[in-house]
């Protein structure tokens, strides 16, 4: 290298170093995502990746959608900076999640973390984010206890299981008024925080609303056999079976029910496995008429055409329609990016304050929500759940009345 080249290089480096912070911030804004990308729940993680990639495509480019940051390319308050997605595999292990969150923060220098599908993993990941004062956005974790730990950097745009369960019991009450017999319930739930919190919420609501829980069965997550548990469900023969299970366990439940000759009168599920395409590919012929709570339905595309267009973008990447999980993941990134843009910074504390000030109307989402606005605990209490029924290979919204496009089929076929 000659002296002139060396001087030019030094001058360029000096000029770059003297740029104001605003100009430097036009570099990529790195956000960490930790999901199960291997093991039994790997497909859930892959689907989540595609949802986040769809959201990033809309943020980083110019689209004529009435969504935060859709119009115009990048983050305008950060010089047009683009969102860069950094993924980590927590392998459905809370301690692996803890380690991966710390790596994302200390080695990848992400300014926020999004995750995690399993609520048990969200517990450890959110604690690490709190320690480093980095926002954690809970995209689809539904355990109610997550936002009640006094964390200042935890935010959840979507509902939790108490909100979902209330929607289920509102539906039961409405069906009773129509003369449908719904008196007894069987709760069936895995033994992590997701299943336990879900069952606790449902037991409490059953007592308050006058329903009798005739079976409350907890099983070990990712078990190899559910024969004993299904025999108990068969003996109880409740009016409604209410499972809270992830995909592999949900498939095993339905297959075991078929093997043991137990036909539920009705299934009203706490989402999770009952929202996954892999579940319906495996046992769809056995769950015609099953109902699951949700926060999303493609029915909304009839009122908001952009929902159908965004679904098409996601489907091109994934080969699937958006569902309850992937729609929440899509919105989580938009909410976070909107806050980073308003913060005009990648500083964790400033992003946290911007998230706390979030106020997005429901019409500017792909969800049937009133708005996105966080309370002091980081929970959005205006994320309105819906109930979907699986009919003829697709989901139809059956509740609440203002969102329904079809009457519930009761009992199941």
Helices and strands, number each (H, E), in the chain: 13, 14
Q: How many CB atoms lie within 10 A of CB 273?
A: 28
pLDDT at position 394: 87
Q: For residue 207, what are the CA distances in angstroms to 35, 66, 119, 174, 219?
A: 36, 42, 25, 17, 22
Residues 6+ apart with CB under 8 A from 167: 293, 384, 385, 386, 387, 399, 400
162-294+387-399 and 10-159+301-382 share a CATH fold: yes
pLDDT at position 12: 37
Domain residue ranges in the chain = 10-159+301-382, 162-294+387-399
Instruction: Answer yes or no: is pLDDT of 1 > 90.
Output: no
Give the whole-angstrom CA distance, residue 384 versus residue 168: 12
| DSSP one-letter code for 298 | G
CATH tag, 10-159+301-382: 3.40.50.2300
Question: Hey, which bits of 79-171 come out as E strands?
Answer: 83-89, 113-115, 136-138, 154-155
pLDDT at position 26: 62
Q: Answer for the pair 206, 235: CB distance below 8 angstroms, yes or no.
A: no
CATH superfamily of 162-294+387-399: Response regulator (3.40.50.2300)
Instruction: Answer yes or no: is pLDDT of 34 > 90.
Output: yes
Instruction: Answer yes or no: is pLDDT of 53 > 60.
Output: yes
pLDDT at position 65: 96
* DSSP three-state, residue 129: helix
Instruction: Answer yes or no: is pLDDT of 413 > 60.
Output: yes
Average pLDDT over residues 181-196: 94
Longest dimension (CA), the chain: 91
Instruction: Answer yes or no: is pLDDT of 179 > 90.
Output: yes
């Amino acid at each position: 290298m000659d002296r002139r080249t060396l001087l030019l290089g030094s001058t360029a480096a000096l000029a770059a170093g003297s740029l104001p912070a605003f100009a430097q911030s036009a570099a990529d804004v790195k956000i960490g995502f930790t999901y199960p990308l291997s093991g039994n729940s790997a497909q859930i993680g892959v689907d989540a990746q595609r949802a986040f990639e769809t959201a990033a495509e809309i943020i980083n480019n110019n689209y004529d959608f009435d969504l935060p940051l859709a119009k115009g390319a990048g983050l305008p308050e950060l010089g047009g900076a683009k969102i860069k997605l950094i993924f980590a595999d927590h392998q459905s292990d809370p301690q692996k999640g803890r380690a991966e969150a710390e790596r994302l923060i200390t080695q990848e220098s992400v300014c926020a973390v999004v995750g995690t599908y399993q609520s048990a993993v969200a517990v450890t990941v959110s604690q690490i984010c709190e320690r480093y004062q980095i926002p954690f956005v809970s995209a689809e974790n539904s355990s109610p206890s997550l936002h009640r730990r006094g964390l200042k950097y935890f935010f959840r745009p979507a509902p939790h299981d108490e909100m979902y369960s209330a929607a289920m019991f509102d539906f039961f009450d409405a069906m009773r008024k129509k003369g449908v017999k719904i008196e007894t319930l069987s709760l069936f739930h895995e033994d992590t925080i997701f299943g336990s919190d879900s069952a606790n919420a449902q037991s409490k609501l059953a007592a308050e609303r006058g329903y009798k829980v005739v079976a409350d069965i907890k099983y070990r997550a990712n078990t190899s056999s559910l024969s004993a548990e299904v025999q108990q469900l068969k003996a109880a023969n409740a009016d409604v079976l209410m499972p809270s299970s992830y995909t592999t366990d949900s498939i095993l439940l339905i297959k075991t029910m078929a093997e043991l000759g137990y036909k539920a009168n009705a299934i009203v599920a706490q989402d999770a496995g009952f929202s996954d395409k892999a579940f319906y590919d495996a046992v769809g012929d056995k769950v015609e008429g099953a109902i699951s709570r949700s926060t999303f339905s493609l029915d909304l595309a009839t009122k908001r055409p952009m929902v159908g267009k965004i679904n098409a973008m996601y489907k091109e990447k994934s080969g699937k329609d958006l569902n309850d999980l992937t729609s929440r993941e899509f919105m989580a990134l938009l909410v976070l990016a909107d806050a980073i843009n308003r913060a005009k910074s990648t500083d964790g504390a400033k992003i946290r304050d911007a998230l706390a000030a979030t106020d997005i109307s429901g019409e500017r989402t792909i969800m049937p929500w009133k708005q996105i606005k966080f309370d002091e605990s980081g929970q959005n209490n205006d994320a309105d759940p819906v109930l979907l029924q699986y009919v003829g290979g697709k989901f139809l919204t059956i509740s609440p009345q203002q969102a329904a496009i079809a009457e519930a089929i009761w009992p199941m076929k």
